[in-house]
């Protein structure tokens, strides 16, 4: 994507259990002395695409005084764990050794970019079941209501004003009492209160662990067990790279949780089965192209979108035509589009992988960052009709700059943008940092009659605004068929304005009021 948007975060968990589960041998890279710590940094690196602002872990080791111990730093996984300094990295791994561990990589959909907001969050307590740590992936759409309800009670106080802190308070309240509560009932109670996306990894000082996926399955969660090792992560590819056999890697069903207790694991349902509302943006952009989400491959979904764009194509193919993907997430769609059209797919844009994410900057600095991030190759683009394939357009700021560079620096004579995603016409309230209508490119071009397939007049106006010769999007009705999933099982709120939860529906009403009144700021606030 030329225009990076905030991911919602990634979570991971490891547990070395007392006895092997089933058959199939052990995962490569044996755990020594029941210590899973050496495995976690690699697991987090494989979900680094989901969060680059901070990384952290909490380990469980009953033999030490600090039974739960948390380490977290601002920066990438490599930076946080000092992986370029072998001695310092080894010291961290040794200090935070444990037979169980949870981990997190963070992007800030809310909260500041400092270590206080990094996860996991740990709560100390003298009672072992009240001493816990957790990390989560997603966004609570009803955070404001939950916060205000707590603050209305005596002597409650928020220090960070984030949904992570809200979950901390909610867990603490449900773990009260003079005996350890049933964690399935704890998660069931949370499910009755929470609205939104909240995949969670949790462990307490009793050695219990929970890996849970919210009832709608908005965000993906994969897990595997082989021998004595249980692993879970936001990306299936992370488990495959760890050495788990493909037959052992599964998607956790929405509304279910993995519970490890007394060194043994089981799967429990904590919420009634509902029609899922999986975020289609996971397939389009967020997830690693090598991952599988609920048995549907990310690469396949992107390639199918490219083929559909080719079937829709109304521009004639000429000898000077080339297909250029915007690195990297549009590559699969571009390759499929190119093959179907019979047009060569070329690397007309070279991405500098050592330039930071462009969304971190704002205003005029973002345009300068884009110029550093992408280099148009004049030898490839000069005097060509360029079919520029992009995975999505959210705010359009960087795509405009990119199109200008391709024409000015690259020498392209025509630019035809093809987007493997429908127009983003509405905010996301479930973990993607685009929470207002005013920040989006597409809404001004569509009225209430829009049903998911853009009309030609709107496309022409949008193309003129972007400074390109033509613009085509994947129609919203094609999302389900392209991804290979039931269309009713995906959340399409940001491309249809129809949301799967009550709070989401309330928030879009408020977002529209704010937009008409010219008010800026997050819709939640």
> Rounded mean pLDDT of the chain?
92
Tell me if 228 is assigned to some domain: yes
Clarify whether residues 100 and 145 are in a common domain. Answer: yes
Half-sphere exposure of 215 (CA within 13 A, CB side): 19
CB 279 within 8 A of CB 219: yes
CA atoms of 339 and 306, how far apart (whole Å): 9
Tell me if 282 is assigned to some domain: no
Clarify whether residues 258 and 143 are in a common domain. Answer: yes
CA atoms of 389 and 204, how far apart (whole Å): 47
Domain of 463?
296-517
Q: Of 274, 309, 333, which marks where a domain is finished?
A: 274
| Global confidence as pTM | 0.93
Tell me if 290 is assigned to some domain: no
Q: What is the CATH number of the domain that holds 270?
A: 3.60.20.10
pLDDT at residue 215, as a whole number: 98
Q: Please report which residue ranges of 116-272 form alpha helices under DSSP H.
A: 143-151, 163-174, 183-193, 236-242
Q: What mean pLDDT is predicted for residues 247-265? A: 96
159: left (phi over 0), alpha (psi -120 to 50) or beta: alpha
Q: Of 213, 240, 274, which marks where a domain is finished?
A: 274
pLDDT at residue 523, as a whole number: 72
**Strand ranges inside 413-478, DSSP E:** 414-419, 470-473
Give the least confident one: 26-35, 146-155, 368-377, 512-521: 26-35
pLDDT at residue 126, as a whole number: 96
pLDDT at 269 over 80: yes
Tell me if 110 is assigned to some domain: yes
**Is 9 a residue of the active site?**
yes
Clarify whether residues 220 and 317 are in a common domain. Answer: no
What is the DSSP secondary-structure string of 49-62?
GG--SEEEEEEE-T
Q: How many other β-carbons are positioned within 10 Å of the β-carbon of residue 315? A: 15
Clarify whether residues 63 and 188 are in a common domain. Answer: yes
pLDDT at residue 356, as a whole number: 52
pLDDT at residue 448, as a whole number: 86
pLDDT at 109 over 60: no
Tell me if 522 is assigned to some domain: no
Clarify whether residues 311 and 268 are in a common domain. Answer: no
Q: Report the helix count and the strand count for the chain, using DSSP H and E.
A: 17, 22
Among the listed residues 9, 428, 482, 494, the single catalytic one is 9
Q: Both ends of the chain: CA-CA distance in Å? A: 28
Clarify whether residues 411 and 375 are in a common domain. Answer: yes
Interval 422-472: pLDDT, tens: 999 999 999 988 889 999 999 999 998 899 999 999 999 999 999 999 999
pLDDT at residue 112, as a whole number: 55
Q: What is the CATH number of the domain that holds 388?
A: 3.40.50.2020
Query: Quick one: what percent of the chain has pLDDT higher than 70?
Result: 92
Tell me if 218 is assigned to some domain: yes
pLDDT at 213 over 70: yes
pLDDT at 511 over 70: yes
pLDDT at residue 340, as a whole number: 98
Rounded to 5°, angle at Cα 515 from 514 and 519: 55
Q: What mean pLDDT is predicted for residues 128-151? A: 95
**Strand ranges inside 410-474, DSSP E:** 414-419, 470-473
Clarify whether residues 270 and 300 are in a common domain. Answer: no
Tell me if 4 is assigned to some domain: no
**DSSP reduced 3-state for 96:** coil
Confidence of residue 32 (pLDDT cuts 50, 70, 90): confident
Give the least confident one: 7-21, 65-79, 103-117: 103-117
**Strand ranges inside 119-236, DSSP E:** 121-123, 132-140, 196-204, 209-212, 222-233
Segment holding 15, helix H or strand E: strand 10-21
Q: Of 215, 243, 274, which marks where a domain is finished?
A: 274
Clarify whether residues 96 and 171 are in a common domain. Answer: yes
Higher pLDDT, 200 or 33: 200
Q: What mean pLDDT is predicted for residues 392-420? A: 96
Clarify whether residues 254 and 367 are in a common domain. Answer: no
Q: What mean pLDDT is predicted for residues 258-287? A: 96
Clarify whether residues 262 and 332 are in a common domain. Answer: no
Q: How many other β-carbons are positioned within 10 Å of the β-carbon of residue 261? A: 15
Clarify whether residues 300 and 269 are in a common domain. Answer: no
CB 66 within 8 A of CB 127: no
pLDDT at residue 21, as a whole number: 84
pLDDT at residue 24, as a whole number: 60
Domain count, the chain: 2
- CA-CA-CA-CA dihedral for 164, 168, 170, 171, to nearest 10: 130
Clarify whether residues 113 and 162 are in a common domain. Answer: yes
**Backbone torsions φ then ψ of 447, nearest 5 degrees:** -110, -170
Tell me if 32 is assigned to some domain: yes
CB 329 within 8 A of CB 314: no
Interval 273-297: pLDDT, tens: 999 999 999 999 999 999 999 999 9
Q: What mean pLDDT is predicted for residues 232-254? A: 97
CA atoms of 414 and 320, how far apart (whole Å): 10
């Amino acid at each position: 994507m030329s225009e990076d948007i905030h991911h919602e975060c990634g979570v991971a968990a490891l547990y070395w259990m007392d006895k092997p589960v089933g058959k199939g041998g052990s995962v490569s890279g044996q755990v020594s002395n029941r210590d899973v710590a050496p495995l976690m940094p690699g697991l987090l690196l494989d979900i680094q695409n989901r969060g680059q602002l901070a990384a952290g872990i909490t380990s469980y080791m009953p033999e030490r005084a600090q039974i739960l111990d948390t380490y977290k730093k601002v920066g990438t996984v490599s930076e946080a764990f000092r992986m370029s300094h072998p001695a310092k990295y080894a010291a961290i791994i040794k200090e935070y050794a444990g037979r169980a561990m949870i981990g997190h990589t963070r992007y800030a959909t809310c909260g500041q970019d400092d270590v206080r907001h990094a996860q996991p969050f740990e709560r100390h307590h003298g009672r072992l079941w009240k001493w816990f740590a957790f990390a989560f992936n997603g966004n609570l759409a009803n955070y404001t209501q939950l916060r205000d309800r707590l603050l209305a009670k005596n002597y409650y106080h928020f220090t960070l004003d984030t949904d992570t802190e809200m979950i901390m308070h909610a867990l603490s309240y449900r773990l009260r009492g003079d005996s350890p509560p049933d964690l399935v009932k704890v998660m069931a109670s949370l499910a009755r209160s929470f609205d939104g996306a909240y995949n969670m990894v949790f462990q307490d000082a009793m050695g219990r662990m929970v890996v849970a996926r919210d009832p709608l399955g908005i965000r993906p969660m994969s897990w595997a067990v082989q021998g004595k090792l249980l692993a879970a992560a936001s990306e299936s590819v992370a488990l495959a790279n760890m050495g788990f056999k493909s037959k052992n890697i599964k998607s956790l069903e929405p509304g279910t949780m993995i519970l490890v207790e007394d060194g043994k694991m089981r799967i429990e349902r904590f919420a009634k089965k509902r029609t899922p509302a999986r975020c289609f943006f996971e397939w389009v952009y967020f997830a690693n192209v090598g991952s599988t989400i609920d048995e549907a491959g990310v690469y396949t979904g992107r390639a199918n979108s490219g083929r559909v764009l080719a079937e829709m194509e109304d521009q004639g193919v000429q000898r000077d035509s080339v297909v250029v993907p915007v690195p990297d997430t549009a590559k699969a769609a571009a390759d499929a589009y190119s093959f179907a059209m019979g047009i060569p797919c070329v690397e007309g844009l070279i991405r500098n992988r050592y330039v930071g994410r462009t969304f971190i900057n704002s205003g005029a600095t973002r345009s300068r960052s884009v110029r550093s991030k992408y280099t148009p190759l004049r030898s490839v683009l000069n005097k060509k009709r360029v079919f520029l394939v992009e995975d999505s357009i959210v705010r359009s700021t960087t795509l405009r700059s990119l199109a200008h560079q391709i024409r000015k620096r690259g020498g392209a004579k025509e630019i035809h943008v093809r987007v493997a995603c429908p127009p983003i016409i509405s905010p996301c309230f479930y973990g993607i940092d685009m929470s207002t209508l005013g920040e989006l490119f597409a809404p001004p071009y569509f009225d209430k009659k829009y049903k998911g397939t853009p009309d030609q007049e709107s496309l022409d106006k949008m193309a003129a605004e972007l400074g390109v010769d033509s613009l085509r999007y994947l129609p919203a009705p094609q999302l389900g068929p392209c991804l290979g999933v039931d269309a009713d099982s995906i959340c399409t709120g940001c491309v249809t304005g129809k949301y799967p939860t009550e709070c989401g529906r309330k928030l879009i009403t408020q977002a529209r009021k704010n937009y008409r009144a010219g008010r800026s700021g997050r819709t939640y606030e």
